[in-house]
Amino acid sequence: MQIWTLTTLPKDAPKEPLKITIPTAVRDALINGDLSTADTLLTQEISTDTNNHNSYANRSLVMARKNDWDHALDDAIKSVTIQPSLMGYIFKGIALCGKGYVRDARIAFDLAFMFTNKDLKTIHFLLLVKAIALFNSDQHEEAMLFVQQLAAACPNDDTLACHVVETYFNIQLGITALNDAHHDEAVGHFTAATCSSALSSAGAIDSMYKDFVVAS
């Protein structure tokens, strides 16, 4: 299971304060799930300009989508070495979580805060991505509690993305419990998911976060 960014949101989704610099062709390839094309385009960019930190950061995202964690981490490290940035450290954190280095990943996410410019939308996005990466590293209880507390702490207008992530966590935990024949536990998770306000607000998430999406 993965929950990452820039994968399946509609191409015409409204733009939000958080800006991720990804060329249109690469973005379209990611949306369409064409990871090979995205990889090729970014590799060509890097060949043309080996000091483009955005290209390395973006290719790290593609490698993460491929579950190629070694290359994802290598590209993220190259990106922040050339120029430290929000997305460079976010993708470094994701790659470290993918490799199971949770403590180092937390450090990377913490460093990413230096590049949020104190923008609340950007900070909210960063915190959700951190929770997602922790969840993907089997830190389920920590990630769930983190998202619940974030929803309780943030302004009302910013809670929907938290509820969407929490709902997805519950669905994934329910599937895992069901596969392990823990039926009562599975029912509990699925019930929590179906009771979420996120299910009745699916369209609103598109207008809130162009760069944030749940994918499996």
Distance in angstroms (rounded) separating the CA atoms of residues 213 and 211: 7
Confidence of residue 5 (pLDDT cuts 50, 70, 90): very low
Residue 9 near residue 204 (C-beta atoms within 8 A): no
Decide: residue 46, CB within 10 A, 0-12 exposed, 13-18 middle, 19+ buried: middle
The yes-or-no verdict on residue 11 having pLDDT over 70 is: no
Q: What is the pLDDT of residues 33-79, one digit of tens each?
A: 899 999 999 999 999 999 999 999 999 999 999 999 999 999 999 99
Q: What is the pLDDT of residue 201?
A: 53
User: What's the DSSP call for residue 56?
Assistant: H
Complete DSSP assignment for 10-61 = -TTPPP-S------HHHHHHHHTT-HHHHHHHHHHHHHH-TT-HHHHHHHHH
Query: And the tokens for 41?
Result: 């385009």
User: What's the DSSP call for residue 15?
Assistant: P
Q: What is the pLDDT of residue 47?
A: 96
Confidence of residue 160 (pLDDT cuts 50, 70, 90): confident
Q: What is the pLDDT of residue 196?
A: 65
Residue 131 near residue 148 (C-beta atoms within 8 A): no
CA dihedral defined by 127, 132, 133, 135, rounded to 10 degrees? 130
Distance in angstroms (rounded) separating the CA atoms of residues 166 and 173: 10
The predicted model scores a pTM of 0.80
Distance in angstroms (rounded) separating the CA atoms of residues 193 and 167: 5
The yes-or-no verdict on residue 157 having pLDDT over 80 is: no
**% of the chain with per-residue pLDDT over 70:** 79
Query: And the tokens for 196?
Result: 């979420």
State whether the Cα torsion 10-13-16-22 is positive or negative. Answer: positive
Residue 172 near residue 143 (C-beta atoms within 8 A): no
Measured CA to CA in angstroms, residue 180 lies from 20, 154, 177, 187 at distances of 39, 35, 5, 13
Residue 107 near residue 85 (C-beta atoms within 8 A): no
The pLDDT mean for the chain works out to 82
